[in-house]
Amino acid sequence: MFKELKFIIATHTDCLELAIFNKSLVDNGGSNNNMTIKELEVRMHEFISSGYLAIIFSVEDQHIGYTLIDNSKSPIFIRHFFYCRAI
């Protein structure tokens, strides 16, 4: 069965959710980044304020991941790309 994937432009109100996704990305990727979710939330605010574009992936109104893109580079630079293992 086909499930429609939607793309939602994230705003500052989405930074906590983005931080939780980012923490999963850090943990699953084996990174040595030990930032807390609160620190990652502040960092997401900084990214969005500095011109990065955050896009949340949604299936059946459930947010399943995100990407963080630097639009100031040419070609664009994808800094983060994450989606949950199970939907």
32-46 pLDDT per residue, tens: 899 999 999 999 999
Structure tokens at 7: 């793309």
Domains along the sequence of the chain with CATH: 7-83 (3.40.630.30)
Written as one string, the DSSP assignment of 49-82 is HTTEEEEEEEETTEEEEEEEEETTSSS-EEEEEE
6-19 pLDDT per residue, tens: 999 999 999 999 99
Total-model pTM: 0.91
